């Protein structure tokens, strides 16, 4: 029987079954990687689910990622049950020995953004076009750290292997977030037009109208934040499923985050204090905070899948 396998989001194969077992014995395929053969329909499965593939190999009990769902079900419910402080502790354990390469990846990401920003007009267009692939590659990088796989800076460019899917994902997420912002933007626009009209007619905008801009600001900020949190798993899903398209990945992310937005929000809020401390280092501390936050978010994603319940 011939098998395909995906390591860090990159599909390989086909290979014969004996070759697949040899790859597992040599460590090139890890329990958290995906495998597929013609008997499995359209769904890929974790390598750890293949009978005997890792049998007798030491250390896998601690190195394997949490159990994950093999088959997507739209009726399934997902729940993150691990306390956020434990997810952060797990992230620190995963980053141990990988802080250097993680910091370099952040530097590379920042340099790319700065270089593109320095290119008049065209730079912004290029940045928009490649943003999806860069974000997907960066998430693949932190997924590899969280799953204790082999990590290199080059991994953050693997998102370009699924360029169109990543581009469409970025576009769809952006449109959804903008749609959630639109009611607040319209309300603020109306308030501003009324204020300008009063100013031109010699009137003075009332203090109540000015104060109205505060709740209107929340009308933009809160829906935007919720939309971003509901979409945040999109790139993780694309990295884990080589057959999923952008729209389906977004739909799955929204479904997975149902009932879990508040917990993820609280997880990210735990980094606010660290963010203020990073400001005292003139921003240098963010080179470490970014990997810490995103590795914790990957652990949240793994925890969601481990807590899947059939509908």
Tens digits of residue pLDDT in 155-210: 899 999 999 999 999 999 999 999 988 887 787 777 777 666 766 665 565 565 55
The answer, yes or no, to whether residue 261 has pLDDT greater than 90, is: yes
Residue 55: what pLDDT?
62
**% of the chain at pLDDT higher than 70:** 83
| pLDDT score of 60 more than 60 | no
Could you give the CA distance from residue 52 to residue 182 in angstroms, rounded to a whole number? 53
Average pLDDT over residues 6-32: 79
Average pLDDT over residues 58-84: 60
Quick check: 63 pLDDT over 60? no
| pLDDT of amino acid 68 | 40
Residue 77's pLDDT is 81
Q: What is the model's pLDDT at position 2?
A: 79
Q: Is 87 exposed, middle or buried (0-12, 13-18, 19+ CB in 10 A)?
A: buried
Span 114-139, pLDDT tens digits: 999 899 889 889 999 999 999 999 99
Burial of 134 (0-12, 13-18, 19+ CB in 10 A): buried
- At 55, is the secondary structure helix, strand, or coil? coil
Read off the pLDDT of each residue in 33-37 and give the average, rounded to a whole number.
Answer: 83
- pLDDT at res. 267: 96
pLDDT score of 29? 85
| Alpha carbons 20 and 14: distance in angstroms, whole number | 9
Judged against a pLDDT cut of 70, whether residue 64 lies above it is answered with: no
Share of the chain above pLDDT 90, in %: 46
pLDDT of 59 above 70 = no
Which one of 30-44, 50-64, 66-80 scores highest in mean pLDDT?
30-44
pLDDT band at 308 (very low <50, low <70, confident <90, very high): confident
pLDDT computed for residue 175 by the predictor: 94
Torsion from C-alpha of 145, 149, 155, 159, nearest 10 degrees: -90
C-alpha dihedral, 201 to 207 to 209 to 215, nearest 10°: 160
CA–CA gap between residue 251 and residue 310 (Å, rounded): 17
pTM of the model: 0.72
Residue bearing the bigger pLDDT, 106 or 31: 106
> Would you state the pLDDT for residue 201?
66
pLDDT given for residue 30 in this prediction: 81
Question: Comparing C-alpha atoms, which of 130, 143, 126 is closest to residue 10?
Answer: 143
State the chain's mean pLDDT as an integer: 83
pLDDT of residue 19: 82
Asked whether residue 52 carries a pLDDT value surpassing 50, the answer given is: yes
Q: What domains sit in the chain, N to C, each tagged with a CATH number?
A: 1-64 (3.30.1490), 77-311 (no CATH)
Comparison of pLDDT for 193 and 276, the residue scoring more? 276
């Amino acid at each position: 029987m011939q098998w395909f396998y995906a390591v860090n989001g990159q599909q390989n194969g086909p290979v014969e079954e004996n070759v697949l077992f040899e790859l597992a014995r040599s460590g090139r395929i890890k329990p958290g990687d995906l495998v597929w053969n013609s008997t499995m329909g359209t769904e890929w499965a974790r390598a750890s689910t293949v009978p005997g593939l890792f049998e007798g190999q030491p250390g896998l009990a601690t190195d394997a990622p949490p159990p994950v769902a093999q088959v997507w079900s739209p009726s399934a419910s997902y729940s993150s049950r691990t306390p956020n402080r434990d997810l952060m502790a797990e992230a620190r354990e995963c980053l141990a020995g990988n802080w250097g390469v993680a910091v370099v990846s952040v530097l590379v990401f920042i340099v790319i953004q700065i270089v593109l920003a320095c290119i008049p007009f065209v730079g912004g267009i290029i940045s928009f076009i490649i943003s999806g692939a860069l974000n997907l590659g960066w998430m693949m990088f932190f997924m590899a750290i969280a799953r204790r796989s082999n990590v290199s800076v080059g991994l953050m460019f693997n998102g370009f292997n699924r360029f169109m899917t990543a581009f469409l994902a970025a576009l769809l997420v952006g449109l959804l977030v903008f749609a959630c912002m639109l009611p607040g933007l319209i309300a603020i626009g109306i308030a501003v037009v009324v204020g300008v009209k009063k100013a031109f007619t010699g009137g003075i905008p009332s203090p109540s109208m000015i104060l109205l801009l505060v709740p209107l600001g929340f009308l933009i900020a809160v829906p935007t934040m919720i939309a971003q949190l509901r979409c945040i798993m999109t790139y993780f899903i694309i990295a884990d499923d080589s057959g999923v398209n952008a729209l389906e990945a977004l739909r799955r992310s929204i479904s997975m985050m149902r009932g879990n937005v508040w917990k993820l929000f609280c997880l990210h809020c735990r980094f606010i204090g660290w963010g203020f401390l990073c400001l005292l280092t003139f921003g240098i501390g963010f080179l470490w905070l970014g990997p810490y936050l995103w590795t914790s978010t990957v652990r949240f994603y793994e925890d969601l899948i481990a807590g899947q319940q059939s509908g």
